[in-house]
Structure formats: structure tokens, C-alpha cells
Amino acid sequence: MLFNSVEYLIFLPIVFFAYWAIGKFGNLKSQNGLLLIASYFFYGLWDWRFLFLILASTVVDYLVGLAIHQKQSQQKKGKLLLWCSIVFNISLLGFFKYYNFFVESFIDMVSLFGYTIKSTWTLKIILPVGISFYTFQTMSYSLDIYYKRIKPTRSFLNFATFVAFFPQLVAGPIERASNLLGQITNKRSFNYLQATEGLKLVLWGLFKKMVIADGIAPIVDDIFANYDNFSASTLIMGVTFFSFQVYGDFSGYSDIAIGTSKLFGIELMSNFKFPNFSRNVAEYWQRWHVSLSTWFRHYLYIPLGGSRGSKLQSIRNISIIFLVSGFWHGANWTFIFWGGFHALAYIPVFLMGRNTIYKDSVVAQNTFLPTFKEMGQLILTFAIVTFSRIFFRSESLQNSFAFIKRLFTQFHWEEYHHPMGYRMIDYFVLLVLFVVYEYIIRKDERSPFKFKYRAVRFCVYTLVVFCILLFYDDGVDRSFIYFQF
């Protein structure tokens, strides 16, 4: 079930009313029970067989969590149990997501030495939606218990609800038990302000998805599918539009997830903090897919030694997390290259000691307009990140390099026509207005409609819904990009 589907439009109010009705007359157990059933129903609509996987991951980490806690005094046994959880979840992920990739890469490698293997080992595997997200979430639970950051929950119902909580189940934010599980184990009561903030975020998320991402998707698809027919000017436009598409798509999803959770009295962590206004690549990673970056920092980068060792060790650690992060996105060399490219862009910033200087500030912190220096930084960072998107979007490495080659060799201006015949100027105006609006609200990613006067708020809501209608195209694939990860 997609957030932008009719099914969800029916599903959400039903669950919302039932949830608060139970909240008023029932107890926490029944409230969580309803959330769990709703979540499994939400997930099962994709393919009911996927439910067995999520259930398996839930059972394993629930039992491992309890066992680790019991064996706290015996460190070796605890470690062994932790490895059980890691091996199980990674195997799940490895089989469903990476098996064919490994087989094909092996065949390709062998063929380099002149041997030919017929590809009979590859399997027709359907990638279960959201598997990368919930396996990471369940693993983090066991890791947190092992590192004594949290205590395990004795309630299987609470734990299963934590793993399957439908707003963030299929594409995050990847929550840590210390944040989400704590809220699930406590009774929630309806909060008017929280619910209205939630609805506003849902509306803003729908705008980002249905207007920005889906609006420009046909253009991006057309340019990337036929890149060998276009000149550099069109390719630059295509990859820039893709940058906005993937941002609108994923941050839109996260906003809807966070907004929906607020309707249920649950606060999820922020996943996007206006990454397009980053002053260097390090700041970009503090603002883009925050829950994944945090996960890798806590559970991979720091255990590897982080930046505590020599510069060389730190560079190694940075390279590892970026390559793993790239690989996490998909079983394709393009994603590994994408990760590697970001590592190369990040390392100089790290060596100059500028990787944390923008941690607690936003561009033009105390002024309305950025300085010329900041403006230059924003443009440079956006250009680097956008360039890396060529790898992210291309079907194969060959396509990526062919795209880049054309970018540097076919440099002449050409007029581009929308594949469906729409006016291109509409999209340029839309993106400029979107960037300007995001710049205005850049200090608070959780309050997109912070207007003092009710009339202004009403006009903005109307305009947002109007844009959703204006940019609706029934030929566009409405699924979210990150569902494939």
C-alpha cells in the first residue's frame, strides 16, 4: 500500500479512529495490538509471503535481545548471540537482495580469465519491500542491548509493533529502539497540536512526492533512457532534475511517515534536514537520510574506530561506511561507485577538519540571505552531489560513464521538449519556487507551514493541493524510489 494511494486514504482514517477509540476505552495492549495488525495488513498488501520474513526477523531479534540481556555477565556468550542476530539479518538481506548480484559478479569475474559459465545459478527472487530498513532496525535493537544502551522489552507485542510500525516500515526513518520502542511501551494520548502538525507534514510530503518527484519523473526517465540522443545541456538538466526527484520522493515519503506517526502520538526522528542547503559534503550527510547516516555512524563507523585512530585509519573507516552505504542502496556496481564517489568527496573535507563545523547551524543562520561565500559553497556541494547521482540513476556502470562522456564532449545548447508535450517552463518555475520556499523554512524541517495568520495558512494549503492537481499525470509510476532498496 502506497502512501499516495486511494487504499491508504481509506486505511489511514479507519486505523486512526479505531486507534484513538481503543486508546480511550481500551488499554495499551489493545492499542499496540491494533497497530500491529494494521501494520501487517499494510505490509501484507504487497505480498503476504513477505510477512513471514518480517516475522522471522522479529522473533529472532526478540529472543536474541532477551538472551543477550540474560547472559550479560558472560561476554563471550553475549557476543555469540549478537552474531547470531547479525548473521541472520545479513543472510536474509544477502539472499533476497544480493544473491543474484554476487553470482553475476562472480560469472563476470571468471569470464575475465577466459572461462564461460552459463548463468544457471541466478534465481528469480522478488525483493521484499523494505527489507533493508527493518533488518537494520532489528539489528540495531540487538546491538543496543549488547552495548547496554537499552534493556530488552519482555513484551513480544511491543517489540513486533516497534519492528512493523507501518508509517516507517518500508522506507524508514530507520528508528533506534531507544526512541521508538520507548514510545510504543507507553500509553499515548491524543494531542491536538501534535496531530495538526502531523497532518501538515503529510500534506507537505504529498506535495514533495506528487508534485516535485512525480511531476519531473517523466522528464528524468526520458533523458536517462535516451541519454545518447541528447547534448550536455539536456543531460545536465536531466541529472539536476533527478536530484530534485529523488529528494522530493524520499523526503516526501519521510515527511508522510513522520506526519502519520504524529497522528498516532508517536514522534519519529527527522530524516531530511534540507540537504540542498549544505555547505560541504559532510554537512550534506548530516542532512540527507539522517537515520541511515546515524545508523552507520553508531553501528559501523564508531565500532571500526571512527576518527580516533590515525588519519589513515580514519580514511579507511570513512571509505568503508560510504562503500557499504552505497551497497546498501542496491545490488549494483553503480551504487558502490556512488558510495565511493561520496567517500572521495568527503575525505578532503575531513582532512581539512571541516566535517563537523556546520553540524549545529544552517546556511545564513542569522541573516535572511546567504553570503557570496555560502552561495558558492551551496552551489558547489549541490553540483558534487548531483554529479554523483549519475551513478545512482544509471542502469549500469557503462551507462554512467557513457553519460558522463557525453556530458563533457557534447557541449552545445539544445531545446528539450517534454515527452508528454507539457510546457517545460512550468517545471523550471515550480523548482525555483520550491527551492525558495524550502530556503525560507530551512530552520525547521518539521514545520513546513509555520504562518502566523490563518488566512495565509489557508491560502498556502489551497495552493499546495492545487499544485497536486495541476501536476498530476496519470501515466506516472507512483511508487517510491526507495522502496526498491
Q: Which residues are designated catalytic?
A: 329
Q: How far is the CB of 31 from other proteins (least distance, A)?
A: 15
Q: Where are the alpha helices (DSSP H) in 94-208?
A: 99-112, 131-146, 156-164, 166-169, 177-184, 192-207
| C-beta closer to other proteins: residue 352 or 456 | 456
| C-beta closer to other proteins: residue 11 or 156 | 11
Closest CA to 81 of 25, 139, 124: 139
| C-beta closer to other proteins: residue 147 or 466 | 466
Tell me, rounded to whole angstroms, the distance of Cα 455 from its chain centroid.
34
Q: Rounded CA gap, 325 and 317, in Å?
A: 12
Q: How far is the CB of 484 from other proteins (least distance, A)?
A: 21
Q: DSSP assignment of 408-475, as one string?
A: HH---------TT---HHHHHHHHHHHHHHHHHTTT-TT-TT--SSHHHHHHHHHHHHHHHHHT--TT
Q: How far is the CB of 432 from other proteins (least distance, A)?
A: 17
| C-beta closer to other proteins: residue 117 or 459 | 459
What angle is formed at CA 245 by the lines to CA 240 and CA 248, rounded to 5 degrees? Answer: 125
| C-beta closer to other proteins: residue 5 or 396 | 5
Q: How far is the CB of 18 from other proteins (least distance, A)?
A: 13
Q: Rounded CA gap, 30 and 62, in Å?
A: 20
Q: How far is the CB of 195 from other proteins (least distance, A)?
A: 5
| C-beta closer to other proteins: residue 37 or 199 | 199
| C-beta closer to other proteins: residue 360 or 474 | 474
Closest CA to 92 of 138, 53, 130: 53
Q: Rounded CA gap, 372 and 380, in Å?
A: 12
Q: How far is the CB of 260 from other proteins (least distance, A)?
A: 14
Q: DSSP assignment of 311-357, as one string?
A: HHHHHHHHHHHHHHHHHHH-SSHHHHHHHHHHHHHHHHHHHTT-SST
Q: How far is the CB of 299 from other proteins (least distance, A)?
A: 38
CA dihedral 265, 52, 138, 327 (to 10 degrees): -110
Q: How far is the CB of 16 from other proteins (least distance, A)?
A: 10
User: Grid coordinates in use for 231?
Assistant: 547534448
Burial (0-12, 13-18, 19+ Cβ within 10 Å), 441: middle
Which residues of the shown chain bind other proteins in the complex (CB under 8 A)? Answer: 5-7, 20, 190, 192, 195-196, 199, 419-423, 426, 458, 461-462, 465-466, 469-474
Q: Rounded CA gap, 65 and 84, in Å?
A: 11
Burial of 260-292, coded b for 16+ CB within 10 Å and e otherwise, reads bbbbbbbebbbbbbbbbbbbbbbbbbbbbbbbb
| C-beta closer to other proteins: residue 188 or 279 | 188
- What is each CA distance from 311 to 297, 315, 316, 344, 358, in whole angstroms? 17, 6, 9, 14, 21
